Amino acid sequence: MKPKPASIPAVLCRDLWKSFGEETARIEVLRGVDFRARFGELSFIVGPSGCGKTTLLSVIAGLLNAERGSVELFGENVAGLSGRERIKFRRRHLGFVFQQCNLLPALTAAENAAVPLLAAGWKRRAAIARGTELLVQLGLEARVRAFPTKLSGGEQQRVALARALVHQPRLVICDEPTAALDHAAGEAVMELLAAAALRPDSAVIVVTHDTRVFRFADTIAHLDDGRIARPKTPSP
Ligand SMILES: Nc1ncnc2c1ncn2[C@@H]1O[C@H](COP(=O)(O)OP(=O)(O)OP(=O)(O)O)[C@@H](O)[C@H]1O
Ligand SMILES: [Mg+2]
């Protein structure tokens, strides 16, 4: 991919519209969303339950198509790529943490964390060592060989975070990454995300209700009534 000038945002969403359901049961979730996330920044999206935060993240990640509007990642209109190119782009450049963790049940925590590296052709040992390193940073040293069904919700969430960061993607997208965590674990997660966002060619987007972690944000965008209010810099 061509290097992009710094003036291009990492993520640029213009006038996104998305609804679910038919006729009388139809709900308009996104109603003209404009959003941008800059390189080197940790961007938060907040808003009431059901306002469309997960829907917006899914559209940004290319997992859902909007009915109208456009999404550019690193200056590239990903919807314009062929199916194969889009999968390759996503695998290489994106890391996700979903609200449901979607870990692979037959793999241990360390193997789950290593999946993006294995998919990129890394040797198994090196990939698992790198996955384990991240799990240790997230306080899961004692759980690296455990299978997902033996992990608590908060432990599963941290394994999913390790998997999202392990291949150093340019864009990390996290849906409520600290929801199931206590204060100390939540801080460890946010510190890793803040470090990932510091890289000048990377960006991190976090959806959260967790006011304890708002101070980590470089910008906070409020989604309500299907639109984003003008992003504000958080007060110190
Ligand atoms: N696949 C779907 N089919 C029908 N309705 C949907 C679908 N996905 C989401 N919705 C509805 O769209 C609205 C927005 O959902 P979304 O999951 O984006 O909200 P959210 O802001 O992430 O909420 P929360 O904070 O509770 O996670 C909700 O009213 C939800 O019920
Ligand atoms: Mg949600």
Chain-centre distance for alpha carbon 34? 18
The two three-digit tokens of residue 162, written as one number: 């390790």
What is the distance in A from the centroid of ligand 2 to the CA of 45? 11
Indicate if the pLDDT at residue 155 is higher than 90: yes
Indicate if the pLDDT at residue 3 is higher than 60: no
Which of 16, 19, 53 for a ligand 1 pocket mutation test, highest count of atoms within 8 Å of Cβ? 53
What domains can be seen in the chain, in order of their start residue?
11-228 (3.40.50.300)
Nearest CA to ligand 1 atom 9: 55
- Counting atoms of ligand 1 from 1, which one is nearest the CA of 51? 21
Which ligand has its closest atom nearest to the C-alpha of 56? 1
Indicate if the pLDDT at residue 199 is higher than 80: yes
Indicate if the pLDDT at residue 41 is higher than 70: yes
> What integer best gives the mean pLDDT of the chain?
91
222 phi/psi in degrees, rounded to 5: -100, 120
pLDDT recorded at residue 7: 78
pLDDT recorded at residue 1: 53
What is the distance in A from the centroid of ligand 2 to the CA of 120? 29
- pLDDT tens column, 47-94: 999 999 999 999 999 889 999 999 999 999 988 888 888 888 988 999
What is the distance in A from the centroid of ligand 2 to the CA of 5? 32
What is the distance in A from the centroid of ligand 1 to the CA of 20? 9
Indicate if the pLDDT at residue 126 is higher than 90: yes
CA atoms within 13 A on the CB side of 23: 1
User: What band does 5 get if pLDDT is binned at 50, 70 and 90?
Assistant: low
Indicate if the pLDDT at residue 115 is higher than 90: yes
Indicate if the pLDDT at residue 232 is higher than 60: no
Neighbour-count burial for 67-106, b at 16+ CB within 10 Å, e otherwise: eebebbbbebebeeeeeeeeeebbeebbbbbbbebebeee
Ligand 1 pocket: which residues have CB below 6 Å?
Answer: 20-21, 27, 29, 47, 49-55, 99
